[in-house]
Amino acid sequence: MSDLKILERDTWEETLNAPVAMVMLGKTDCAACNEWTTELKGFLESDEEFASVAFGKILLDKGGLGKFKKASPWLSEVHDLPTNVLYVNGEPVKRWVGGGIDRMSNRLRRVVS
């Protein structure tokens, strides 16, 4: 089973540099982000298929993430939240908007063997 970690100044790099990581970008006051967080946490409580994947959530309206923002120039293209980013060995390989366990699982299966 995996856990959804809130990524902050000292934890985002380690998570993103995992062999496979799925990171949700959101904001504190985003209702859709909070709904997706609840759905994802519920899924992760019993999931065994993606146990090797690092799952994280970055709240873009929280301070201390300047290095993440500088390292992610594509953030300027993010206009809708939640946005999910799939990383493989520290590189973003897929980005999509919205929640949905099936959508996320399909994308993860393409990179998790």
Distance from C-alpha of 85 to C-alpha of 44, rounded to nearest angstrom: 17
DSSP-derived 3-state class of residue 36: helix
The pLDDT value recorded for residue 2 is: 80
Predicted TM-score of the model (pTM): 0.94
Assigned CATH for 4-109: 3.40.30.10
Q: Where are the domains of the chain?
A: 4-109
Mean pLDDT by runs of 10 across the 113 residues of the chain is 90 95 97 97 96 96 93 94 97 96 96 82
DSSP-derived 3-state class of residue 63: coil
The pLDDT value recorded for residue 1 is: 61
Distance from C-alpha of 42 to C-alpha of 40, rounded to nearest angstrom: 5
* Strands (E) located in the chain: 4-6, 20-26, 54-59, 83-88, 91-97
The tokens for 57 are: 């959530």
The total number of residues shown for the chain amounts to 113
